[in-house]
């Protein structure tokens, strides 16, 4: 299995991404989960990550708290999408498993130093603060990363938090800039992909029909998450963003994209956090990311339902 660290701000869709990874031990070995401030403040994301591990029955996964705010800007949160707890929808008990004492950034650094080069993949599902802080503090780890597979950014689908920017990149553009310039291999699951991965009614029903605690909780989470998109965009279901990252590790053939140059806007307030993606190759800037644009959405939901059924 591929060794990964999940860096996350749960978030209902983060939760599903974590569950998918924990349900897939043949393909994925989760070394640890590092929480970051994003959808809700750090205390809640660190708590939610443990709630999800307990829901999956995987209380041995170490969970760490990382950075509580972006590198150079005040924190912007998304309770309007995810609810006050970040995980509104199902009623899940408070976690009993402990939060690790070590800081999440130090865990990322120590793990990359301890493991053989090229064997650890980072999976950021929130703002890139923890990852960029680790890269700044310990530049020696950058070349040891196998790949960064992240959810963030947009090109054709432009913005969901401002007209120009996707939430994860917008919250900490400085961190995103550090990661995109670092030279690590990057796979980007952008809104161009995730807006094609809609939890329609039949897909939600399929989660519920699993008849398990996990299936019910996921159906309740996506139900809650959906009300926002239904009301605001009138879409047939909410985009299930973050599990695209863990699905890619299991079934990369579900996605297609292009190796292109992606730069991050960090100065203009109007377009702050925009992922300036050279999709058409109109510059001579070197490609630094595999930017995904399509998804086999039914294949993705079939995979999710099948794997969640294993928990
Ligand atoms: C991203 O923002 C968050 O609200 C979601 O969890 C996802 O990671 C989508 O823009
Ligand atoms: Ca997220």
Q: Describe the crossing of helices 297-308 and 201-208 by its angle, rounded to 10 degrees.
A: 20
Tokens 């995980």, located at residue: 87
Going from the Cα of 13 to the center of ligand 2, the distance in angstroms, rounded, reads 6
Going from the Cα of 168 to the center of ligand 2, the distance in angstroms, rounded, reads 7
Show Cβ contacts of residue 98 under 8 Å, excluding neighbours closer than 6 positions: none
Counting ligands in written order, which one lies closest to the CA of residue 189?
Answer: 1
Are 17 and 218 contacting, i.e. CB atoms less than 8 angstroms apart?
no
Going from the Cα of 93 to the center of ligand 2, the distance in angstroms, rounded, reads 21
Rounded CA gap, 39 and 84, in Å?
A: 10
Per-residue confidence band for 237, with pLDDT thresholds at 50, 70 and 90: confident
Can you point out the beta strands (E) in 81-235? 120-124, 145-151, 186-189, 198-199
Rounded CA gap, 39 and 36, in Å?
A: 9
What order of strands is seen across the sheet that includes strand 186-189? 63-65, 28-35, 2-8, 120-124, 145-151, 186-189, 289-295, 255-260
Counting ligands in written order, which one lies closest to the CA of residue 35?
Answer: 2
| pLDDT at 230 > cutoff 70 | no
Residues annotated as catalytic are 241
Tokens 């960090």, located at residue: 266
Closest of 32, 31, 26 to residue 1, by C-alpha: 26
Condensed to tens digits (0 to 9), the pLDDT of residues 177-222 reads 999 999 999 999 999 999 999 999 999 999 999 999 999 999 999 9
ipTM for the predicted complex? 0.99
Closest of 124, 170, 103 to residue 8, by C-alpha: 124
Cis amide leading into 54 (omega within 30): no
Residues with CB under 6 A from ligand 1: 11, 13-14, 39, 78, 81, 125-126, 151, 160, 166-168, 241-242
Condensed to tens digits (0 to 9), the pLDDT of residues 13-71 reads 999 999 999 999 999 999 999 999 999 999 999 999 999 999 999 999 999 999 999 99
Which H or E element spans position 174? helix 173-181
């Amino acid at each position: 299995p591929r060794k990964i660290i999940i860096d996350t701000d749960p978030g209902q869709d983060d939760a599903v991404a974590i569950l998918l990874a924990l349900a897939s031990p043949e393909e994925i070995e989760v070394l640890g989960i590092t929480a970051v401030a994003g959808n809700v403040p750090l205390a809640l994301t660190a708590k939610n990550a443990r709630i999800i591990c307990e829901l999956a029955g995987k209380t041995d996964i170490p969970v760490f708290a990382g950075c509580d705010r972006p590198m150079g800007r005040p924190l912007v949160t998304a309770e309007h999408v995810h609810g006050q707890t970040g995980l509104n929808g199902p009623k899940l008990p408070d976690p009993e498993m402990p939060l690790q004492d070590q800081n999440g950034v130090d865990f990322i650094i120590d793990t990359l130093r301890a493991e053989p080069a090229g064997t650890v993949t980072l999976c950021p599902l929130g703002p890139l603060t923890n990852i960029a802080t680790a890269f700044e503090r310990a530049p020696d780890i950058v070349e040891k990363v196998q790949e960064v597979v992240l959810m963030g950014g947009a090109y054709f689908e432009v913005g969901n938090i401002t007209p120009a920017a996707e939430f994860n990149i917008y919250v900490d553009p400085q961190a995103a800039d550090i990661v995109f310039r670092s030279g690590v291999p990057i796979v980007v699951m952008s809104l161009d992909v995730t807006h094609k991965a809609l939890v329609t009614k039949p897909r939600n029903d399929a989660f519920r029909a699993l008849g398990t605690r996990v299936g019910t909780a996921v159906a309740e989470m996506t139900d809650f998450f959906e009300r926002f998109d239904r009301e605001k965009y009138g879409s047939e279901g909410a985009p299930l963003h973050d599990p695209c990252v863990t699905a890619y590790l299991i079934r990369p053939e579900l996605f297609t994209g292009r190796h292109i140059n992606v730069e991050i806007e960090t100065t203009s307030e109007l377009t702050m956090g925009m992922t300036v993606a050279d999709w058409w190759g109109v510059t001579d800037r070197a490609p630094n990311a595999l930017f995904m644009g399509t998804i086999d959405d039914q294949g993705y939901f079939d995979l999710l339902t099948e794997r969640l059924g294993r928990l």
